[in-house]
Structure 1
Amino acid sequence: MKSPAVLAACALLAFASASRAATHRLDDSASQVFPPSAAWDWVPGSLRTGINTVHLNVRVVVRIDTRAWAGRQGQIYMVLPVDSDGRVTAEWRSQGRLLDGRLVSGERALVFSGTVRGPVIEDTLHVRLTADARTLVGDSQRLNFHFELDTP
């Protein structure tokens, strides 16, 4: 039987390990979207069929400030918060530094896992957004993607 001191030490060690794991929002304010203002396009034949799906294609030059995490292990996630405009699906292809992926508003998707190698992670994403036109409010929507880093 283990002594209470050993059990307490194990519990403290487990708590300390768990408390170090954290999620940090990363600064991606240097990222750029091209075109900066884009219009939703109806899916071909949608008016005839009654399908209300619209698409938007943009290119995003992603620049994530990682200088505080250089040399450390972590996972970076792209996050699309829930918006009052309804469900939006994002699918993207990268140039290779970040992972390709897909997410729906309210979710986050893994885009990087491993050792952060430098002060900035940069990649170009070709993003296709899909939404139900009935849920879009007004002519202009701002999608507030951001990136989070989980550290072990």
Structure 2
Amino acid sequence: MKKVCSFILLWSAAAGFCPLAAAQDQPTASARVLKVDDSGTVVLDPVLEMQWQPPGRSGSTSLVSASTRVSVQLNLAAWVGRSGRIYMTLPRAPGPTVRATWKTGGTLLPGTLLSGDRTLVYAGPVTGPVIRDLIEIALEADGARLTQPEALAFGFEIELDQ
């Protein structure tokens, strides 16, 4: 019988975490990167019990996955009238690499993110003080490396145009 694996989903404002940009997505010399207040973001099922995936062609697998919905609310009031790019971040944790893939309600861009990286979710002018979207997010990881419940501290940052 395989062990039970789980993730606890947090967002940076709730976790008090300040994410750093991944090396391949460093800001350009003419841009400023700032943390976005996502304290209004709510994970509908914050504790996810991961499910073991069926064996592949090799006859074995250690891949686990789960999904949930997240009501994203980004406070952009400080940047109304400015233009830039918003990224979702997921800092690298000591456990296995996590792949997050999501679909959106249309306000933010759908995408995929590996722990330790960041991915573009919005580009253009900031026309209002708040961006809201409902995303369906799926997580995958190597279950063999999950020895205890792990907390994932997602966050957002904005890279402003000058």
What is the TM-score normalised by the length of structure 2?
A: 0.77
Counterparts of 2:134 and 2:54, CA distance in 1: 27
Query: Once superposed, what is the RMSD of the aligned Cα atoms?
Result: 1.7
Matched residue, 1:57: 67
Q: From the two aligned structures, give the one with the greater helix fraction.
A: 1
User: What per-residue deviation string (whole Å, max 9, x for no partner) do you get for residues 25-78 of structure 1?
Assistant: 1111110111122210111347x9321000010100000110001111010000
> Superposed, which structure 2 residues align to 1:1-152 within 5 Å?
21-45=31-55, 49-138=59-148, 140-152=149-161
* Letter paired with 2:147: V
Q: Percent identity?
A: 38
Deviates more, 1:36-45 or 1:89-98: 36-45
Runs of 4+ in structure 1 over 6 Å off: none
Unpaired runs of at least 5, structure 2? 1-27
Q: From the two aligned structures, give the one with the greater strand fraction.
A: 2
Choose 1 or 2 for highest CA Rg.
1
- Alignment partner of 2:78: what SS? helix
What is the number of residues matched between the two proteins? 133
Shift of 1:20: 5.7
What is the TM-score normalised by the length of structure 1?
A: 0.82
Unpaired runs of at least 5, structure 1? 1-17
